[in-house]
């Protein structure tokens, strides 16, 4: 097997070798190379002790915040390459942190501390080092732990979520012993720092194998988001749906483009349903009045607890809030949506509506999907005409108003908003003269 390494990576490895140390590529980049994918990052392992690594790369900018674990980051060409001294980990105390790190000389010992066989391979001098059969597992598309699954997941429970992420991203089958351990040890995820879980959760949601993983491991997800547990198997009792709440959610996630924001929105959009379910006495038909507002509360609370960025939470909560709002194709109403959500926001909302309706009863869904596509075109038409839907687009600004005699202060903003409303409603053309005339009436 040949591997054309990027020049930077080759250079780093050669410098270590020239200093009499062994240098290996390890982990994700080896896995991705075997899958013929472009690696996300390049991790190196070396026999050099951290101090020696620092000496070898003394002339280059270094990142030293991982030094405690034996990691030296070398900054090169705008990237950080992590170079970690070969190590094994001491006994784990709290399902999170190894209590001590011991440096070792043998690559096999370092690979043995890694989570899954597909991540426990190394590359040096044109040869693959694969003591746990990772390559064969990749070929079989099988997720197996290095060593005894229950024990390995207990050591660091983040591996539970990482396992689901890899199963989803790489469409892996999960080895039966691992599957059993993932379910049995799921509660330990409660001890894991939320910051560490975010990336794995998003990776899981955006993987091509997400559907199967989400359906099979809802109990694991429910440790992070307890409302998932209540959605599983919750029958909707309505002709619009053929799936229970959780299955509908999962199908809608997978009907969405693999975008972290959109897929997160779909994960939460209907989680409020079980808490507002009512049934008509005569027909038994189910309703979920007000569920979007409850789902919005759930997404805000959950994403905050998982330490998502404020801006992400705000966007996601807004989309959940409006996920079943009615979207009518009149330009006047479209402009109002554009004003409320912005162009990207409205485009995202349409994706959410499309995904939601793709996962209901197809007998009703087709008509709805057709009208959503027509709506999408109507929005594009409004955008093509460069219509006015935000204060920025208005043909006058605050300075113009002051020049026209409006006193400086809150009244400027009030009149601008009023003008925008009237322009969006087509009661007023977005033309400077007409707007200034109206200003004189309003001031």
Rule CB under 6 A: say whether 158 interacts with ligand ATP. Answer: yes
Rule CB under 6 A: say whether 159 interacts with ligand ATP. Answer: yes
Query: For Mg ion, which residue of 28, 194, 229, 258 counts as binding (CB under 5 A)?
Result: 28
> Which residues are CB-neighbours of 440 under 8 A, at least 6 positions away?
404, 405
Rule CB under 6 A: say whether 41 interacts with ligand ATP. Answer: yes
| Residue nearest ligand ATP by beta-carbon distance | 28
159 binds, among ligand ATP, Mg ion, none (CB under 5 to 8 A by kind): ligand ATP
| Residue nearest Mg ion by beta-carbon distance | 28
Q: Specify whether the CB–CB gap between 255 and 355 falls below 8 A.
A: yes
Q: Specify whether the CB–CB gap between 104 and 110 falls below 8 A.
A: yes
State how far the Cα of 345 lies from the Cα of 321, in Å rounded to an integer. Answer: 12
Query: For ligand ATP, which residue of 3, 17, 19, 28 counts as binding (CB under 6 A)?
Result: 28
115 binds, among ligand ATP, Mg ion, none (CB under 5 to 8 A by kind): ligand ATP
Rule CB under 6 A: say whether 82 interacts with ligand ATP. Answer: no
Rule CB under 6 A: say whether 40 interacts with ligand ATP. Answer: yes
No. of helices (H) and no. of strands (E), the chain: 21, 13
User: What does the block give as tokens for 289?
Assistant: 């009045």
Rule CB under 6 A: say whether 66 interacts with ligand ATP. Answer: no
Rule CB under 6 A: say whether 115 interacts with ligand ATP. Answer: yes
Report, in Å, the least distance between residue 29 CB and ligand ATP: 7
Report, in Å, the least distance between residue 289 CB and ligand ATP: 41
> Which residues are CB-neighbours of 91 under 8 A, at least 6 positions away?
98, 99, 100
State how far the Cα of 25 lies from the Cα of 73, in Å rounded to an integer. Answer: 14
Rule CB under 6 A: say whether 339 interacts with ligand ATP. Answer: no
Report, in Å, the least distance between residue 358 CB and ligand ATP: 28
Q: Specify whether the CB–CB gap between 145 and 152 falls below 8 A.
A: yes
Rule CB under 6 A: say whether 156 interacts with ligand ATP. Answer: yes
State how far the Cα of 163 lies from the Cα of 168, in Å rounded to an integer. Answer: 9
Backbone angles phi, psi at 159, to 5 degrees: -60, -25
State how far the Cα of 45 lies from the Cα of 84, in Å rounded to an integer. Answer: 5
Report, in Å, the least distance between residue 119 CB and Mg ion: 9
Contacts to ligand ATP by CB under 6 A: 27-28, 40-41, 43, 114-115, 119-120, 156, 158-159, 162
Contacts to Mg ion by CB under 5 A: 28, 41
């Amino acid at each position: 097997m040949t591997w054309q390494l990027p020049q930077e990576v080759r250079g780093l490895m050669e410098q270590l070798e020239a200093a009499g140390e062994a240098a290996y590529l390890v982990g994700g980049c080896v896995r991705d190379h075997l899958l013929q994918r472009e690696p996300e990052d390049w991790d190196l392992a070396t026999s050099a002790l951290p101090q020696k690594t620092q000496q070898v790369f003394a002339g280059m900018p270094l990142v030293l915040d991982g030094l405690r674990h034996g990691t030296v980051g070398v900054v090169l060409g705008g990237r950080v390459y992590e170079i970690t001294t070969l190590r094994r980990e001491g006994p784990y105390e709290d399902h999170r942190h190894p209590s001590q790190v011991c440096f070792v000389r043998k690559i096999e010992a370092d690979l043995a501390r890694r989570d899954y066989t597909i991540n426990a391979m190394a590359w040096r001098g044109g040869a693959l080092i694969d003591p746990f059969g990772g390559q064969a597992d990749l070929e079989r598309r099988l997720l197996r732990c290095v060593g005894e699954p229950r024990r390995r997941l207990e050591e660091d429970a983040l591996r539970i979520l990482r396992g689901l992420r890899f199963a989803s991203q790489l469409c892996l089958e999960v080895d039966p012993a691992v599957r059993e351990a993932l379910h049995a040890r799921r509660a330990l995820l409660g001890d894991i720092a939320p910051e560490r879980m975010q990336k794995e959760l998003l990776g899981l949601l955006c993987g091509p194998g997400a559907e199967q993983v989400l359906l099979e491991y809802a109990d694991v997800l429910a440790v992070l988001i307890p409302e998932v547990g209540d959605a599983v198997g919750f029958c909707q009792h309505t002709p619009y749906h053929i799936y229970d709440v959780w299955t509908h959610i999962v199908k809608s996630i997978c009907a969405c483009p693999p975008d972290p924001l959109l897929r997160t929105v779909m994960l939460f959009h209907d989680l409020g349903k079980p808490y507002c379910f009512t049934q008509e006495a005569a027909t038994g038909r189910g309703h979920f009045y007000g569920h979007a507002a409850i789902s919005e509360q759930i997404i805000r609370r959950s994403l905050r607890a998982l330490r998502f960025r404020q801006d992400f939470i705000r966007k996601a909560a807004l989309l959940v809030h409006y996920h079943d709002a009615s979207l009518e194709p009149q330009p006047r109403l479209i402009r109002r949506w554009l004003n409320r959500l912005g162009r990207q926001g409205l485009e995202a909302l349409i994706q959410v509506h499309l995904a939601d309706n793709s996962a209901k009863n197809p007998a009703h869904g087709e008509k709805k999907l057709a009208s959503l596509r027509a709506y999408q075109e109507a929005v594009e038409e409004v955008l093509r005409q460069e219509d006015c839907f935000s204060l920025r687009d208005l043909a006058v600004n605050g300075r113009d108003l002051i020049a026209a005699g409006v006193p400086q202060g809150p009244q400027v903003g009030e009149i601008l908003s009023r003008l925008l409303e009237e322009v969006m409603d087509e009661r007023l053309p977005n033309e400077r003269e007409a707007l200034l005339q109206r200003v004189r009436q309003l001031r």
